[in-house]
Amino acid sequence: MKRLIVFLGLLCLLVSPAMAISEFSKQWKGEYLGKDADADFVKAGRSAGCYVCHVKGEKKDEARNEYGKAIKEFLKAEDFPKEYVKANPEEAKKKILEGFKKAGKKKSSDDRTFEEKIKNNELPATDAGI
């Protein structure tokens, strides 16, 4: 019984950051792949999935592409534990969207802002490797 409790405790510690990351993904898709988005961009964004922010073939917690690094400057998974997101969904959403907006002002390696690229129906990271 003790082992089960310890295991569940450790599992909760591991799951909380994943909850935040899935919330980031959910909000990104809702914001940029919503009903008014270009169909081809929606297809590209859904196909890219996690690789909008992460580097394909590498561990997600370690490898972020240039857009993922910009997002991480403004959004930290530990600031969005599962309990907080569930108890304050609108507040969490607002903070996440603010983080996306701030990251959007940063420049990509091709000297355009991530926001410009998204508005032009392009995936934000030049180095997405997709």
Q: Is residue 51 part of a domain?
A: yes
Q: Is residue 49 part of a domain?
A: yes
- Section 108-129 average pLDDT: 89
Question: Cα–Cα distance between 105 and 128 in angstroms, integer?
Answer: 18
| Percentage above 70 pLDDT, the chain | 82
pLDDT of residue 10: 41
Q: Is residue 124 part of a domain?
A: no
DSSP-derived secondary structure letter, 110:
T
pLDDT of residue 46: 94
pLDDT of 98 > 50? The answer is yes
Q: Is residue 42 part of a domain?
A: yes
> What pLDDT digit, counting tens, does each position of 32-77 carry?
999 889 999 999 999 999 999 999 888 877 789 999 999 999 999 9
- Section 72-87 average pLDDT: 94
DSSP-derived secondary structure letter, 108:
P
Number of domains in the chain: 1
Range of the domain at 95: 17-119
CA nearest to 40, candidates 48, 30, 28: 48
Query: How many residues does this entry show for the chain?
Result: 130
Q: Is residue 24 part of a domain?
A: yes
- HSE toward the beta carbon, residue 75, CA cutoff 13 A: 31
pLDDT of 115 > 60? The answer is yes
CB distance 1 to 70 below 8 Å: no
- Section 75-101 average pLDDT: 96
Q: Is residue 84 part of a domain?
A: yes
- Residue 6: CB partners within 8 Å, gap ≥ 6? none
pLDDT of residue 19: 52
pLDDT of 4 > 70? The answer is no
CA nearest to 82, candidates 71, 72, 92: 92
Q: Is residue 59 part of a domain?
A: yes
Q: Is residue 45 part of a domain?
A: yes
